[in-house]
Structure formats: C-alpha cells, structure tokens
Chain A
Amino acid sequence: MRFLKKHGRQILVYSIYIISLTVFQFALSGWLVPISYMPDLVLILVVVCGSFFGSDDGMIIGILAGFLRDMMVGRVLGLGMLLFMFAGLTASIFLKNSIRRNPLLTIIQVAAVSLIYEIVIVILTFLFPMLPDQVYSFDMLINLRYSDALRKILVNVVAAVPIMFLLHYAGPYRRGQQRTGMEDEGEGGHAWHKI
C-alpha cells in the first residue's frame, strides 16, 4: 500500500505512455506510415526517461517497453528487453558527473542512442545469421542500413521533441519534485531533471 502511494503516479503515467506509444506505433507503422519513415517512439520514450529521470527509470521502462516489443514483433523473447534496457542505461550514463540535463542534450542522446541501436542491430545480424549457410558480410550490412539509419535517426530526433514535452509537463513526477535520500545524484542514477 505504501509502495503504491509512493510510486502510484509513476506506475500509472509510465503505463499510459508505454502502452499508448506501443499501440500508436503499431497502429501506424506499415499501415499508414511506411516503416522507414516511422520514428521508433518507444525507443525515444526509453531514452528520454533515462535522460530525464536517471538509470533506474531508464532501465525499468526499457525492460517493460522491450517486453511489449518482443511480444508484438520479436523473433525471440528478451532481445528487445535487453536492447531497450541498455538504451535507457546508456541515456542516463551519458551525462554522468553531471552536466545539468537539458533538452538539447537529450535530443543529442536520442540521436546517439538511435545510432548505437542501428549499429547493434547490424552486429547482431552479422553474428547470428538466420540461415547457417547464408552469412552476410559486415560491409554489405552496413551499406544496406546506412541510408535507412540516417533517416531513422532524423525522424527519431523530430519525434523526441513532443515526447520530451509530454514527459516534462505531464511526466511521472510532479514538476520541481526533488527526490530525497538519493545518494548518487550526479552518477546518472537518480539525478532529478530540473530545467
């Protein structure tokens, strides 16, 4: 009960964001918007959460959002959870020791994590070919993903702006709320977003 009282708002707000962005993503992607022009809304949410609210939030939101991704379109269960967990962590670790978090840096983080995500996908495709006799060269995979990745980063950056606004003005914590008892502010852990 005390847990719900303490974290009720976070649970509710994060649930709404994860579910609505996931549903929105799948409702549009491939149906109304071509896949290559569709921003990865859930990845952006994870990165912005990691950047704004620290590694714990980034990690947990990453795992939950990744679970939904795996459930919907994943070849296996767990890969999306792992990738998104590290996306959330990476976003929070970027600003270690601690540059005050601001929107411009968060946008740069979205671009950087999107790029890393694309590179990881290429590496995974290279390391784990689906047919044992059909191995693709790393150069070919990079060339194949190059233009698509640039476009993806661009649309992700554009889509990050409204998500940042939403999380800032209708986020999981009340504006100006200062967490107490968090011992590691500045480590990217629970450093609070103050713009």
Chain B
Amino acid sequence: MRKVVRTRIFTVVLTSLILLALILLSSFPGSPLNHLTSPVSAIFKPIQSSFRSVTGNISDFWISLTDGMSIRQENEKLAQENAQLKNKVSQLEAAGRNYEELKTALQLKDKFDRYEIAGARILTRELGTWFDVFKIGSGTADGITITESESFAVVDAQSRLIGRVLSSDLTTAKVLPLLHEGFAVSARVNEVNGAIVRLRGDIELKEDNLCVADQIPTSSDLRIGDELVTSGLGGLFPEGILIGSIIEFRDDAAGRKIAIVRPSVDFDNMSVVFIMKGLQS
C-alpha cells in the first residue's frame, strides 16, 4: 500500500518536472519543442476550420436577424447624413484629383508593396489569461518560421496592426495580439517628426479593447485623436503600420503620463489575418 502511494507520488513529481522543463524550453522563441504540436495541429486544422465556417455562418445569420431592427432606425439617420455627405463628396472629389496628381508626381507607392504578405484564417480565439493567444492556419510550411531574432507582424486587410507571430508549428502559428499584456512595440505619432513612444498591452484595459502608450518624451506634444503607427525601430515591425489613436491621457502609478490608445483594428470581427513575411527578394 505504502509502495503504491510512493510510486504515485514519484510519478506525479517526475511528470511535473518534465512538464516544467517543457514550459521553460518551449518559452524560447523558435524553440523546436513547439513542433511537438505539428501532428496534432495537422489533424485539428481542418476540423477547426470547418467548425469556424459553421459558427461563422450561424453568427452571420444571427447578426442579420438582430440587425434588421436597427437598420430601420439607422435608415432615417442615414437619409439626413446623405444630404450632408453629397455636399462633402463634391468637395472631396476636387481634393482627390489633387491627391492623384501629387501621388503621380512623387511616385508614391503603396506602403508595403515590397513585403510578401500571406493570408491565414483564424482557427481559435483566446480562452482567458495565460491561454490568450490565437491560432491561425499558417505555419512553417508556409514560411512562418520564428527565430530568437525574427518574428512577423500580423495585420488585417487594411494593414492595421493586429499583433505578431509568437510561435509556429508545421501547419499553424500562434499570434500574440496587440492587446495582450506581453505585447510591446515602438510606435510614433503619425506626423512629421512625430514623438516616439512605446505601445503595450495592459491587463486591465484589454477587456475594453484598449492598450497603453507609455515612455512618452516629456517634450512631446501628444493630443487626443493623434494616430500612432509603428516606428520601425527594433526591426521586427515595418515602419508605418497603423496601430490606433489616442483617446485619453492618464498618470500611471509612478506619476508618469501615459496615453490610452484604441486600436484601429476590430478584434471582435476578425476571421482572416495577413502575415507580413518580409521583404521580397
């Protein structure tokens, strides 16, 4: 009897030690241990994809039902707005012509046209603290290989920042979202000589889909409504990806000024993301 208990305790301790070692080793970026999940991921990916399609269809159907009521109310508002917008359109058409002329003159290109971009479907969403990354259907087989010094920015269809790739196996990858408390990126205000700040997720604010800009230079003149884009410093994210805009200023626990930022991307309605794989050769 005592022997059985001792054997059981030994088994539990040994298993715990093995799992602790697994946690430590798999936490390194690009750890080959992350490939342990490859065979199971390969089986689960099509199952998750099909379930996602089904739930997506149900969700769309439900939204269309509930939207019917609000559409009628919105219709009245829109009629009023329509009149105002017609007026603005004529002004903007003139501005647009000017912009096209300038664009041609300066030979502007689309911001990220030199980047190889790969689309991937979101397979799973986060489940709470410590299980709060999401999984996408692209992996090392699609060129998403993470190393200690290399990761990839993840954006939406409008090139707005969603997060970065955290780890990958053969067919899938995990994405650390912008709202996550472990996410940090160098950002700058989207204007000429805009101030450089650090943008990070915050555990208190992520429920409200908000994040924080800190390390604000004392000399900077940040204002509510200022847009933040990636600064390109650090080399992980290309410069100029839209992050979000400042909605509020606060003081942190140490009395330093921080800005509350609302990300531009709509985290609740994402189904496909785009990975910026790097400069095309």
Contacts and interface: CB of A to CB of B under 8 A. Distances in A.
Contact of A82 (B5, B20, B54, B174): B20
B40 A71 contact: yes
A4 interface: no
B133 A31 contact: no
Interface stretch (A72-80, A103-111, A156-164, A170-178): A72-80
Contacts of B47: 23
B124 A76 contact: no
A68 to B, nearest CB: 7
B217 to A, nearest CB: 17
Nearest to A121: B129
Contacts of B125: 26, 29-31, 35, 73
Contact of A89 (B12, B129, B130, B184): B12
B8 A189 contact: yes
A10 interface: no
Interface string B57-98: 011001000000000000000000000000000000000000
Interface residues of A, number: 49
A55 interface: yes
A107 B126 CA distance: 26
Given A26-B124, A40-B127, A59-B12, 12 more contacts: A25-B127, A30-B126, A71-B41, A73-B133, A73-B135, A82-B16, A82-B19, A130-B182, A144-B203, A187-B4, A187-B5, A189-B8
Interface in A101-131: 121, 124-125, 129-131
Interface string B156-192: 0000000000100000001010001110100000000
Nearest to B27: A76
Interface of A: 23, 25-32, 35, 38, 40, 55, 59, 63, 67-82, 85, 89, 121, 124-125, 129-131, 134, 136, 140-141, 144-145, 183-184, 187, 189
A72 B40 CA distance: 10
Interface stretch (B29-37, B102-110, B239-247, B272-280): B29-37
Given A26-B48, A81-B19, A130 B181 contact: yes
Contacts, number: 147
A78 B131 CA distance: 12
A75 B124 CA distance: 13
Contacts of B180: 130
Given A26-B48, A31-B55, A79 B1 contact: no
B204 A77 contact: no
Contacts of B59: 31-32
B132 interface: yes
B134 interface: yes
A140 B204 contact: yes
B224 interface: no
B182 A184 contact: no
A72 B135 contact: yes
Given A28-B55, A71-B41, A81-B19, A35 B184 contact: no
A23 B51 contact: yes
Contacts of A23: 44, 47-48, 51
Nearest to A34: B268
Nearest to A20: B47
8 contacts: A68-B44, A73-B133, A73-B135, A74-B133, A77-B34, A81-B22, A125-B130, A131-B182
A81 B181 CA distance: 22
B56 A80 contact: no
B128 interface: yes
B197 to A, nearest CB: 14
Contacts of B20: 78, 82
B15 interface: yes
Contacts of A121: 128-130
A71 B37 contact: yes
Contacts of A144: 203-204
Residue picked from A74, A144, A183, most chain B C-beta under 10 Å: A74
A184 B22 CA distance: 31
Interface in B175-231: 176, 180-182, 184, 200, 202-204
B220 to A, nearest CB: 20
Residue picked from A23, A70, A75, A82, most chain B C-beta under 10 Å: A75
A72 B175 CA distance: 11
Given A29-B127, A32-B55, A85 B132 contact: no
